[in-house]
Amino acid sequence: MAASALLLGPSLGYAQPHNLIIFVADGLRYKSVTPESAPELARVRSEGVDFANSHSIYPTVTTANASAIATGHFLGDTGDFGNTIFVGDPLPVPANTPFASLEDDAVLGLMNARFGGNYLGETSLLQAARAKGFATAVIGKLGPVGVQDSTARDGKGTIVIDDETGGAPEDGIVLAPEIAAAIKAAGLEPRTPDRGLNGGGGAYNMPGVRVPNKEQQDWFTAVATKVLLPRFKAEGKPFVLVFWSRDPDGTQHDQGDSLNQLEPGINGPTAKAAIANASHDLGELRATLDRLGLADTTDIVTTADHGFSTMTRDVPTSASAKFRYPDVVPGFVPPGFFAIDLAKGLGLPLHDGAGLPVEPAKGFYPKRGARLGPDPVHPEVAIAPNGGTELIWLPGADPKAMARRVVEFLTTQDYVAAIFVRDDLGPVPGALPTSKINLLGASRTPPPAIAVSFRTSTTGCAEPEMCGVEVADSGQQLGQGIHGSLGRQDTHNFMAAVGPDFRKGFVDPAPVSNADWAQTLAKVLGLDLGGRGQLKGRVMREALAADGATVASQAWTIRSEPAANGFVTILNGQTAEGVNYFDAAGAPGRTVGLKP
């Protein structure tokens, strides 16, 4: 009786909540999905709800959006501001740095220990579901998988399977012995395969990969279809399964079709094969639901954490491009170029993320973040690279004065598109407040003082979102893939849903984002997410079969006060039911999709 009562009363009136699969195709652009390129993804979109006006959360990077998908909160609440963030005092071993790289299970554990047992500070959908009696599991890419239920690390709650599963216990999250035994019994290797031929990004003089991440993802798919879904069927309880596909993201980052050339960039055959690979895996999950008799009672949500661009390193105006580095094409900017330029502009000593001095004139560049100032233990400026966005913290004695100095320099750099400054440090001419992009809320981790979105452009194709080019601070080569900016090619992710709780054949014109998923799915499943912070997504009522309400939206544009040299940050957005969505931001002529 108690177990039955536990599963009664979902908010939409069903006798028992439906099952749910959330399929995340990492780095999938909305317009890259067609019946030819990705038939199974396209089928979800055509059969169910097509969220045509979809949005990634900014910064448009993986763990940031993973936190929004998990909790239904924007980053000002989750504190997961990027794949790499600055956390103040150094984390202990194995991190041993003040820069937390969140695509790592061990680091996520250290973050929980530092920040109240749950660094996100919010209840995730999976956490709420397992508390309500659902079977829960998350499988796939290292990093965002651990974010989905950040407190489930001991093997006793949500089943967590990622790149580290089956390895040394200190490297990953504990897998319950009975699940490990079931994987072996299904004839599968007990340890996650590595990426094989898909696992290398090449170098400045050597092309990257030419195959998708098939071997590893075939294993994840086999575990999901041969072990997890049959187990859930046998248990007879409703379930929530998150499948985080590394493709097309990992392959787009590392593809070898376009070394030091902008075309084909991420539109070559290797990236297309990665999109098809993700679509195939979704098809395998759906075929298994059919085989197990679960298709009619399971909702399938597909989303992407962000869109994608082709990387450029050709930034001749950067001071860093004047030096020569042993692993960088002469004249191109190196990883860490932004810190090199800013250190020079501010007249401050440069150290890398570990606190070691860096001398660009001798061919060195900072790695894993940067610290500026005479004393790296107490830096004036801390910089966390996040692809097309740079996040800056100002832990020095006078952050207000330093913020003005930093912004004054940034407005003179032609690779800078948009600047945002934390509200308590402004207003600063040329910049908008970080609260305008939901980076200031109830976070447990320290919010950045400044966020910088880099310049984006196109190669001139007819569809700008499909040939975006981006200046970025990362390890990829010119011609490989990157993301992180506030250009529309990065913010326009793929989102679709099909199943008993969603409308059929409906194209949703209203703005939606990754922060809306958990709020909507909690409504469908009868869960209470609660929440410390107020920066929440909305229930996408217009997409639900039991509601279908018409949702009005309004487009808007805000502009900063101009800097002394005329630089201005412009932010385009939309609002629906009190929630803001961010399309693009930058100075005129420096951002794909910007409407001045």
Separation CA 490–CA 57 (nearest Å): 10
- Average pLDDT of every residue of the chain: 96
What are the φ/ψ torsions at residue 136 (nearest 5 degrees)? -135, 145
The pLDDT value given to residue 172: 82
Separation CA 344–CA 410 (nearest Å): 12
The pLDDT value given to residue 530: 87
Separation CA 551–CA 543 (nearest Å): 10
Q: Which CATH architecture has domain 2-71+123-309+487-529?
A: 3-Layer(aba) Sandwich (3.40)
- Cβ-in-10-Å burial (0-12, 13-18, 19+) of 540 comes to buried
DSSP string, 100-161: EE-SSHHHHHHHHHHTTT-TT-S--HHHHHHHTT-EEEEEESTTHHHHHTTT--SSSSSEEE
**CA-based R_g, the chain, Å:** 23
On the question of pLDDT at 485 being above 90, the answer is: yes
The owner of tokens 């909702």 is: 299
Q: How far is CA 506 from CA 295, 462, 512, 545, in A?
A: 19, 27, 14, 10
And the tokens for 289?
């639901």
The pLDDT value given to residue 15: 56
The pLDDT value given to residue 171: 72
Over residues 459-475, mean pLDDT? 98
Separation CA 208–CA 204 (nearest Å): 10
The pLDDT value given to residue 1: 28
Separation CA 54–CA 68 (nearest Å): 14
Q: How far is CA 310 from CA 459, 468, 510, 537, in A?
A: 9, 6, 28, 29
- Taking alpha carbons only, the member of 537, 491, 535 closest to residue 57 is 491
The pLDDT value given to residue 157: 94
Sheet with strand 19-25: strands edge to edge: 159-161, 135-140, 239-245, 19-25, 298-303, 495-498, 49-51, 506-508
First to last CA, the chain: 61
And the tokens for 504?
């059929």
And the tokens for 348?
């401050």
97-124 pLDDT, tens digit per residue, is 999 999 999 999 999 999 999 999 999 9
| b/e map 383-406, b = 16+ CB within 10 Å | bbbbbbbbbbbbbbeebeebbbbb
- Taking alpha carbons only, the member of 68, 162, 157 closest to residue 538 is 68
The pLDDT value given to residue 358: 98
On the question of pLDDT at 3 being above 80, the answer is: no
Separation CA 286–CA 422 (nearest Å): 45
* Phi-psi domain of 434 (left: phi exceeds 0; alpha: psi -120 through 50; beta: other): alpha
Do the bridges between strand 239-245 and strand 19-25 make them parallel or antiparallel, or are there none, so unpaired?
A: parallel
224-280 pLDDT, tens digit per residue, is 999 999 999 999 999 999 999 999 999 999 999 999 999 999 999 999 999 999 999
Instruction: Return the domain boundaries, the chain.
Output: 2-71+123-309+487-529, 311-481
Over residues 82-93, mean pLDDT? 97
Which residue type occupies 42?
Answer: A
On the question of pLDDT at 471 being above 70, the answer is: yes
The pLDDT value given to residue 40: 98
Separation CA 36–CA 93 (nearest Å): 47
And the tokens for 510?
């209203």
The contacts of residue 181 (CB under 8 Å, 6+ apart) are: none
On the question of pLDDT at 6 being above 50, the answer is: no
Q: In DSSP terms, which residues pair with 579 in a beta bridge?
A: 576
132-157 pLDDT, tens digit per residue, is 999 999 999 999 999 999 999 999 99
Beta strands in 119-265 (DSSP E): 135-140, 159-161, 239-245
On the question of pLDDT at 4 being above 70, the answer is: no
And the tokens for 30?
């909305």
The pLDDT value given to residue 16: 76
Contact status, residue 43 vs residue 65, Cβ threshold 8 Å:
no
12-54 pLDDT, tens digit per residue, is 444 578 999 999 999 999 999 999 999 999 999 999 999 999 9
pLDDT band at 8 (very low <50, low <70, confident <90, very high): very low
- Taking alpha carbons only, the member of 67, 23, 40, 42 closest to residue 244 is 23
The pLDDT value given to residue 10: 45
Q: How far is CA 1 from CA 8, 36, 110, 465, in A?
A: 11, 49, 40, 54
Contact status, residue 232 vs residue 130, Cβ threshold 8 Å:
no
The pLDDT value given to residue 13: 45
- Taking alpha carbons only, the member of 416, 445, 448, 453 closest to residue 435 is 448
pLDDT band at 9 (very low <50, low <70, confident <90, very high): very low
